[in-house]
Amino acid sequence: MLLHHIHIKSFDPTASADWWSEAFGLVVESDEVRPEGDRFVRCIGENGIPVFFSGPRSGEHLEPAVPAARVGLEHIGFHSDEITTDIDRLVGMGATLVSVPERLASGKVIAFLHTPDGVRVELIQP
């Protein structure tokens, strides 16, 4: 099986899609309100993987996101050639640095951020 898509829930899916598009090069393909009452924004990543953003459906209550590790979607990982530069750029765009860059025994450097819409992101520099 292959990864089909990533779906992110947000209180403001249009703003989230705009932020992710600027931060990670997604391209917005469509932005609509579905019959269920939620705004649904379809994006595509540079590697062709679709990323969807949606708000609450009519009558649906969403709990706010937390930056800590948790059960469920733990994080989304992104390759970075310049992790410090990317951290500075994303923090400048409103992300919060959750853990400073750490060099693993493998030599990779990783860091975690919390996006403005509450998604935990890992940057990985080989």
Polymer length of the chain:
126
**Hey, what domains does the chain have and what are their CATH numbers?**
6-54 (3.10.180.10), 76-125 (3.10.180.10)
Taking the model in full, what pTM does it have? 0.86
CB 102 within 8 Å of CB 113: no
To the nearest whole percent, how much of the chain has pLDDT over 90? 83
| pLDDT for residue 17 is more than 80 | yes
Sign of the dihedral through C-alpha 67, 69, 72, 76? positive
The tens digit of pLDDT for each residue in 43-75 reads 999 999 999 999 999 999 988 888 777 787 788
What is the reported pLDDT for 24?
Answer: 96
| pLDDT for residue 1 is more than 90 | no
CB 92 within 8 Å of CB 84: no
CB 93 within 8 Å of CB 115: no
Provide the CB-side half-sphere exposure for 39 (13 A, CA). Answer: 13
| pLDDT for residue 86 is more than 90 | yes
Could you tell me the two tokens for 76?
A: 């989304």
To the nearest whole percent, how much of the chain has pLDDT over 70? 100
Nearest CA among 104, 102, 96 for reference residue 121: 96
